[in-house]
Amino acid sequence: MSKSVPWDGIPTPATDLSVLRVAGTTGIPIYWGRDSGAQCLLIMELDGDHTFQFRRDTVSLHGIAIDLRNGDAAARQRLILTLSRHIDSDLFLGLCETLVGSLKDIGDSATALAVALAHLKRWKAFLAGRNARLLSPEEMRGLFGELHVLRILYKNTLAQASAVDAWCGPEDSHQDFIFGNRAIEVKSLSGRERSTVRISSEDQFESLTDELFLLIQRLSDMPDAEQALSLNGIVAQIESELTDAEAIEQFGDKLASMSYAPLAEYDTPRFVVGGLQGYRVTDKFPRLIRSELPQGITKVSYDIMLEAIAPFSCDETDLFRRL
């Protein structure tokens, strides 16, 4: 075992459960626990009856049993995660710690259950054989950039559920965000990328919407900056800000589809976002699009010089004005 775990200090009961309240939480009661079989548990106390929500959204994880049981009092239930022998406790602890971190201030039971089930879906996606890999540095930067734009959308432009629904990056759509009759393609550049932006396909600048924008933002790795955030940090920030149960559930599903799980490897780098610049993509914008490619040409990628698209620059408010 690489480090001590909270279950080490919990005795095995003869019957029922032994529990220890998780420290530092102000939302729903959460407990570390052991059952009479000495299995490690994480227990969340929920007010009300959430049977329908659990049955609709439940997920199965190899090596971890996920149960909704009646609590000690009437109109109370418990969501219980039980570790079996098929997965080591270090990984289970990592899952539990990230789950506790997202739930620690959530007092509404329905919202807490939605957050918990969304977390479990993400872990399932990561643990699945073909998805059990770390995101590349470029994928991390791209996901961080899209999440930063998502925050702008639900703070300034759309309701939370509509903003999460508008995030199309996880769905391999042509653009990263589509809402109303507007589409936004997001490019997140590192400090080394100053003069060009890479366009990865002939579809990124062809849209069925009336308005298409390119948004360029620069991500600087500044670990000591007060406002810097890691990928894990911005995910946790969004989860703490979302209050709509539908938005929370859909956000978790989309992260899961991108093979994201809150692993320690995503605690660095820590980014500061700067230099947001929008461009309006019109017929005269320099681009290669599928409908205009010579027959037989496909899978095109190319670089655009930022200097060449300066005449198409627009104010950031044009992209994020309310519908």
Question: Rounded mean pLDDT of 243-259?
Answer: 86
Q: What is the pLDDT of residue 84?
A: 86
- Answer whether 22's CB lies under 8 Å from 81's CB: no
Residue 129 has pLDDT above 80, yes or no: no
Question: Rounded mean pLDDT of 212-234?
Answer: 94
Q: What is the pLDDT of residue 118?
A: 86
CA distance 141 to 160: 23
The token pair that represents 231 in the structure block: 């990928």
63-110 pLDDT, tens digit per residue, is: 889 999 987 777 899 999 999 865 567 778 888 988 898 898 999 999
The domain 6-131: what is its CATH number? 3.30.1460
Name residue 185's beta-bridge partners.
214
The three-state secondary structure class of 203 is coil
Question: Rounded mean pLDDT of 275-294?
Answer: 94
How far is CA 55 from its chain centroid? 23
CA distance 156 to 218: 20
Q: What is the pLDDT of residue 86?
A: 53
Report the mean per-residue pLDDT for the chain.
Answer: 90
Residue 259 has pLDDT above 80, yes or no: no
Residue 156 has pLDDT above 70, yes or no: yes
What's the half-sphere exposure (Cβ side, CA atoms, 13 Å) at 5? Answer: 22
Residue 288 has pLDDT above 90, yes or no: yes
Who wins on pLDDT, 318 or 86? 318
List where CATH 3.30.1460 sits in the chain.
6-131
CA distance 117 to 66: 10
